[in-house]
Structure 1
Amino acid sequence: MRNHLDVIANNMANLNTSGFKSQNLHFTEYLMPIAEGSAFEPADQTISYVDMFTTRTDFTPGSIKTTGNDFDLALNSDGFFVVQMPDGTEAYTRSGTFHLDDTGQLVTAGGEPVMTEGGPITFSVEDGGVQITEDGTIATELGIRGKIRVVDFEDVRELEKIGDTLFKGEDAEPVLAPRMVQGAFENSNVYGVTEVTRLVEVTRAYNATSKVVKDLDELRQQAISTLGRFQA
């Protein structure tokens, strides 16, 4: 239950984080072989246990919020923006709260360069206003400057979460017809009411379990005390 509470707390902490994808706790089941469970009645009953807990990411899109910032981008389609990590590898995100750093390079809120089809992109004063079309084409007063890379995966459930909004994955495929919205970003897909409801349910289950453990401990103490009197 501690793991479950940690997952819910992290979801709630990122309620307003752009592009954040909520997580849920799941468990895998271990079935005891019938031979090992033969001491139980009925003998042919399979015994089921929780083997381990895992977290799964919900990639359902969040709502789109208009900001008016020319460098904020939202994907109104499947896919992920591509960013460059400090070690030179690529990571993927739905968070489009981009801005220009001190050198004029387009970066994420965390400072990772945003990748175009030609790599990272840097703007200068001569570029003037920046227009980004639905398919990611970047145009300034100097002409076409590049195109924002958008990729997708055959099974997004296999992506590895490496940060609040960043993921690692293999075999990324380009999205041929992305639908990008300039001057907006994708909200978190966490719903506060849902998380509060889950929190109440887990808290009640935790309290109930704690009461059972306490009652069993009291019964054990009573049994030890009673047996001690008989032996005396």
Structure 2
Amino acid sequence: MDRLIYTAMTGAKHVMEQQSTTANNLANATTTGFRAQLDTFRAVPVIGPGLATRAFVVDATAGADYSQGALQQTGRALDVAIQGKGWLALETPDGSEAYTRHGSLKVNENGILQSQSGLNVVGDSGPITIPPDVSITIAKDGTVSSVEAGFKPGQSTIIGRIKLVNPPEDTMTRGDDTLFRVKTPDGVEADANVTLIGGALEGSNVNVVDAMVNMISLSRQFEMHMSLLKNAETNASKASQLLAF
């Protein structure tokens, strides 16, 4: 059987996988703080007897697009957007740290500052607890302060400081929960150079036009691989006819 079948099959398979990635990016074009996933193709020669005239196709995940998305003003006190590079640190259920750019925060029924998904925001000394009946402000360095509600503006009370980090991008991996983690088990130290913008959220950095063009291109590549499979079938049929005589 012609090895072309296996070559075209692997190409079609990975085109479909990359099409799935592109579709996922498009589905998250309006997700706050989303980072577009990037995939690349690479050819791997088939090792065996004879000349290396065949190659398999492999879809290699190149990582994520870390460019900043558009900022949207919300005016909400618990909405923050990271200016430039950096991440918010969250505590996962297993006690480890994960990082996100989704700055829409909330206070749960126990007064703990959390993400919208219910994960505790990491502070300098653990979770940040918000007292009841207070107005919250978050400074650009992540400092969380409170002023008692119903009183004239006066001196604010510092509650804690959100942990802001900026690990090297090549050490970060995306999890199935859309949160990013570093490869080192000890986590990342806080970075004082990371700053926040209060009352704003960062949108997704997915370029819808580029994603649509990429989807069309992948569809044409898939059709090309299907044509190769049909050619292999035709060649096999003609060869069988010639051998039958």
When normalised by structure 2's length, the TM-score is 0.81
Give the number of equivalent residue pairs.
219
1:43 aligns with none
1:100 matched to 2:107? The reply is yes
The residue correspondences of 1:65-76 to structure 2 (distance < 5 A) are 65-76=72-83
Distance 2:236 2:136 in 1: 73
The 8 Å contact of residues 27 and 50 in structure 1, kept in 2 or not, is answered as no
Residue among 156, 161, 167 paired with 1:147: 161
Question: Secondary structure of 1:173's partner?
Answer: coil
Identity %: 27
1:131 matched to 2:144? The reply is no
Cα 1:201–1:60 shift into 2, 3 Å: same
Distance 1:218 1:194 in 2: 36
2:125 aligns with 118
2:10 aligns with none
Distance 2:23 2:192 in 1: 37
Distance 1:208 1:52 in 2: 17
- Deviation digits for residues 102-160 of structure 1 (CA, Å, limit 9, x no counterpart): 2222111211011111211122323x21111111111112611111110111x212212
Cα 1:188–1:102 shift into 2, 3 Å: same
Residue among 230, 234, 245 paired with 1:214: 230
Please provide the CA RMSD for this pair.
Answer: 2.2
Gaps of 5+ in 2: 1-14, 148-155
Cα 1:164–1:190 shift into 2, 3 Å: farther
When normalised by structure 1's length, the TM-score is 0.86
Give the superposition deviation at 1:66.
Answer: 1.1
Cα 1:47–1:116 shift into 2, 3 Å: farther
Distance 1:173 1:118 in 2: 13
2:240 aligns with 224
Give the superposition deviation at 1:27.
Answer: 3.9
Give the superposition deviation at 1:32.
Answer: 7.1
Q: Which amino acid aligns with 1:211?
A: S
1:7 aligns with 21
Question: Secondary structure of 1:129's partner?
Answer: strand
